[in-house]
Amino acid sequence: MAYDIRMVKLVSGEIALGKYDAETDSLKDPATLQTIPTQQGVQMMLMPFGYPFDSEFAGSISFAHVLFPFKNIPEDLKTKYMEACSNISLSSGGLGGLNLKNPPSGGSGASGLLFGK
């Protein structure tokens, strides 16, 4: 099933990603995007919206609370979001992206996902 992944800036100033639900005009299973400055530049951390009190990607945010919807979302950010929500690693280009020697452990995305920018 293909999801309409959207990234928005909320009236609170937070940046959120989620699966857009046209029926309810809301983002389902929202995640928050945090930027972390490093000596190499900036890294981004993707966490469940309710973290640290809620470690699952669940709930919804009404579009009434959206200040700005981003037009372009990087594909790797969409992929990381889907991986975090489903705990399934999405690879591009066949089986080349599978890491069979060190498989990821199950669990929630509470610790977040870091990736360089």
Structural domain includes residue 100: no
Identify the CA nearest to 7 among candidates 88, 56, 75: 75
Summarised one tens digit per residue, pLDDT across range 3-13 is 899 999 999 99
Confidence at residue 62, expressed as pLDDT on a 0 to 100 scale: 95
Q: Which H or E run contains 78?
A: helix 75-86
- Rounded (10°) CA dihedral 18, 22, 2, 103: 20
Structural domain includes residue 104: no
Confidence at residue 90, expressed as pLDDT on a 0 to 100 scale: 61
Structural domain includes residue 48: yes
Structural domain includes residue 19: yes
Say what percent of the chain tops pLDDT 90: 48
Q: Which residue has the higher pLDDT, 81 or 111?
A: 81
Q: Give the count of domains, the chain.
A: 1
Collapsed DSSP state (helix, strand, coil) of residue 63: helix
Summarised one tens digit per residue, pLDDT across range 45-89 is 899 998 888 888 899 999 999 999 999 999 999 999 999 888 776
Structural domain includes residue 96: no
- Domain CATH number, residue 82: 2.30.30.100
Structural domain includes residue 36: yes
Q: To which residue do tokens 């066949």 refer? A: 94
Query: Distance between CA atoms of 89 and 103, rounded to whole angstroms?
Result: 10
Domain assignment of residue 75, given as a range: 5-90+109-116
Structural domain includes residue 43: yes
Q: To which residue do tokens 């981003």 refer? A: 70
pLDDT surpasses 50 at 32: yes
Beta pairing, strands 66-69 & 60-62: unpaired
Ramachandran bin of 113, using left for φ above 0, alpha for ψ from -120 to 50, beta for the remaining angles: beta
Structural domain includes residue 69: yes
- Does this model's pTM top 0.85? My answer is no
